[in-house]
Amino acid sequence: MIPASFDYHRPRSLDEAIAILASHGDDIRIVAGGHSLIPMMKLRLAQPGHLVDLQDLGELRGIDAGSTIVIGAMTTQHALITSAALAATVPLLRETSLQIADPQVRYCGTLGGNVANGDPGNDMPAAMLALNASYRVKGKAGERDIPARDFYQGAYATSLGEGEILTSVRIPAPADGHGYAYEKQKRKIGDYATAAAAVVLTLSGGKCNSAAIALTNVADTPLLATEAAVALIGTSLDDTAIAEAARRAQAIAKPSSDGRGPADFRAHVAGVMVKRAIARAGERAA
Amino acid sequence: MPKMHVKLKVNNREVEGLAEPRTLLIHFLREQLALTGPHIGCDTSHCGACTVDLNGKSVKSCTMFVAQANGAEITTIEGFVNADGSLHVLQEMFREHHGLQCGFCTPGMITRAYRLLQENPDPSEAEIRMGISGNLCRCTGYQNIVKAIRAAADRMSHAKEAAE
């Protein structure tokens, strides 16, 4: 499969990348790890006239785990998996990364690409909703932060403006002893989720005092299951509370029928993933 | 579309060529450098037959433009053979443990196994299976591939101890 022709740009600085983007309007695409875009280009579902490759922008790589955890957009999933700092502060990222594709893809695939692509099948967006992350983006007009919870508008439609580059993901450090889990049902390694759920919660005196639940690939966008999380607050994460949260999460799931199963089944799986993720997050919470 | 000048280090040899930016790395390797060890299997980044080692990472060369690889150091299966022409220990172990049948996946499988063992010289069976989960084999059922990689890990650690 041969993609359509394009001009290739490999800028040496972020400012240069922004200038290149600005001069090509909507006829240019950013390539980070390329493992979403290149398959689309090979199928000619994407035919940009220009490609701007961010691989030389060292300023977009790296992990800084302070009270806000800042991860450069070009940080690969492999780097997330092997980061001791992240394992100690936001282990949900390692667990989610390991569910993405396969080892080869994770050496190339980036956090920024996964969250900015807008594909409802991508796994990181749900984790970002659960962690209440924000995305720092930069364009000609300057820099701004977009909460992940406001970022996703539809399939491949996001709040990223034309000419803007996502530069980093910023995550408020979860409380010490928080519980977390990413549960993903998939048919095989490398597949998108039939349904998946990210859960982050905290316990105090055996009772849940904060919770966030988000769903992958059961709608045009990742979904924050706010009502489902509310069902856990004040409970000891007993079976009744977990079942009610799963019921509420399942109620907002609106998957389409596809090769992964009929819509009803996929919504049901979303409920099952939520149950498992809450239970595991509860076991991990101190 | 004008061609661009591409410079790579492949199997320890500096190579140069002209290619359109849209040329996939696998096509450049196979058609311009005549390195036909890396195979085109699925052409959709699932099967891993096209795996090469690029700057110390296992990469599916069907899902990378040669423009992106420009300046990189690459090892393909052709680069594994020892200087005296004998087989690399991974190749030897795949042969000894019957880790291949038709052989189509083998170049990618060995290239991936090499990087896995660089990162984790003493992997468990589960770690080997996860480590090669991006490489599909339709013949062996993986059992003998896992055995071969484990045996190569033992050989490589013995060789390392002997050298120390």
The 10s digit of each residue's pLDDT in B108-157 is: 999 999 999 999 999 999 999 999 999 999 999 999 999 999 999 999 99
Tell me: pLDDT of B1 over 80.
Answer: no
When scoring A97, A102, A187 by the number of chain B Cβ atoms within 10 A, the one with the most, hence best to mutate, is: A102
A contacts of B20 (beta carbons < 8 Å): 5
- CATH code (residue A36): 3.30.43.10
The whole-angstrom separation of Cα A260 and Cα A53 is 33
Determine, yes or no, domain membership for A112: yes
Is B87 within 8 Å of B95 (Cβ atoms)? Answer: yes
Q: Are residues A167 and A196 in the same domain?
A: no
The whole-angstrom separation of Cα A197 and Cα A216 is 6
Q: Are residues A122 and A218 in the same domain?
A: no
From the CA of A285, how many Å to the nearest CA of chain B?
Answer: 27
Q: Are residues A93 and A148 in the same domain?
A: yes
Looking at residue B161, its pLDDT comes to 86
Is A65 within 8 Å of A89 (Cβ atoms)? Answer: yes
A102–chain B Cβ distance below 8 A for any pair:
yes
Q: With an 8 Å Cβ cutoff, are A103 and B133 in contact?
A: yes
Counting the structural domains of chain A, the total is 3
Q: Are residues A267 and A234 in the same domain?
A: yes
Looking at residue A237, its pLDDT comes to 98
Determine, yes or no, domain membership for A2: no
A contacts of B4 (beta carbons < 8 Å): 8
When scoring B58, B128, B129 by the number of chain A Cβ atoms within 10 A, the one with the most, hence best to mutate, is: B58
Q: How many angstroms separate the Cα of A238 from the Cα of each of A136, A243, B118? A: 38, 9, 45
For residue A82 the two structure tokens come to 């092997």
Domain boundary among the residues A155, A172, A189 is at: A172
Is B89 within 8 Å of B159 (Cβ atoms)? Answer: yes
Determine, yes or no, domain membership for A157: yes
- pLDDT higher at B120 or B159: B120
From the CA of A98, how many Å to the nearest CA of chain B?
Answer: 10
Determine, yes or no, domain membership for A227: yes
Residue in chain B closest to A190 (alpha carbons) equals B46
The whole-angstrom separation of Cα B109 and Cα A256 is 36
Looking at residue B78, its pLDDT comes to 98
From the CA of B3, how many Å to the nearest CA of chain A?
Answer: 10
Q: With an 8 Å Cβ cutoff, are A108 and B63 in contact?
A: yes
Q: Are residues A263 and A213 in the same domain?
A: yes
Q: Are residues A111 and A11 in the same domain?
A: no
Q: Are residues A144 and A201 in the same domain?
A: no
B contacts of A105 (beta carbons < 8 Å): 45, 60, 63, 134
From the CA of B84, how many Å to the nearest CA of chain A?
Answer: 30
Q: Please report which confidence band the pLDDT of residue B164 belongs to, taking 50, 70 and 90 as the band edges.
A: confident
Q: With an 8 Å Cβ cutoff, are A53 and B67 in contact?
A: yes
Q: With an 8 Å Cβ cutoff, are B1 and A5 in contact?
A: yes
List per-residue pLDDT tens for chain A, 286 residues long: 899 999 999 999 999 999 999 999 999 999 999 999 999 999 999 999 999 999 999 999 999 999 999 999 999 999 999 999 999 999 999 999 999 999 999 999 999 999 999 999 999 999 999 999 999 999 999 999 999 999 999 999 999 999 999 999 999 999 999 999 999 999 999 999 999 999 999 999 999 999 999 999 999 999 999 999 999 999 999 999 999 999 999 999 999 999 999 999 999 999 999 999 999 999 999 8
ipTM over 0.90: yes
Q: How many angstroms separate the Cα of B121 from the Cα of each of B93, B115, B143? A: 15, 10, 19
Residue in chain B closest to A52 (alpha carbons) equals B68
Q: Are residues A39 and A88 in the same domain?
A: no
- CATH code (residue A235): 3.30.390.50
A contacts of B44 (beta carbons < 8 Å): 39, 42
Determine, yes or no, domain membership for A95: yes
Domains of chain B from N-terminus onward: 4-79 (3.10.20.30), 89-163 (1.10.150.120)
Q: Are residues A160 and A73 in the same domain?
A: yes
Q: Are residues A164 and A189 in the same domain?
A: no
Determine, yes or no, domain membership for A228: yes
Looking at residue B124, its pLDDT comes to 98
Element (H, E) at B89: helix B89-96
From the CA of B117, how many Å to the nearest CA of chain A?
Answer: 13
Looking at residue A286, its pLDDT comes to 87
- CATH code (residue A156): 3.30.465.10
Residue in chain B closest to A78 (alpha carbons) equals B57
Domain boundary among the residues A130, A148, A172 is at: A172
Give percent above pLDDT 90 in chain B: 95
Residue A104 has its nearest CB partner, among B43, B44, B51, at B51
Q: Are residues A31 and A100 in the same domain?
A: no
Is A278 within 8 Å of A201 (Cβ atoms)? Answer: yes
Q: With an 8 Å Cβ cutoff, are B67 and A8 in contact?
A: yes
For residue A229 the two structure tokens come to 């999380």
Domain boundary among the residues A112, A144, A172 is at: A172
A contacts of B65 (beta carbons < 8 Å): 8, 34, 38, 51
Residue A196's domain comprises: 180-284
Q: Please report which confidence band the pLDDT of residue B159 belongs to, taking 50, 70 and 90 as the band edges.
A: confident
From the CA of A213, how many Å to the nearest CA of chain B?
Answer: 28
A78–chain B Cβ distance below 8 A for any pair:
yes
Q: Are residues A130 and A43 in the same domain?
A: no
Determine, yes or no, domain membership for A199: yes
Give which of A46, A78, A37 is closest to A61, Cα–Cα: A78
B contacts of A10 (beta carbons < 8 Å): 67, 70
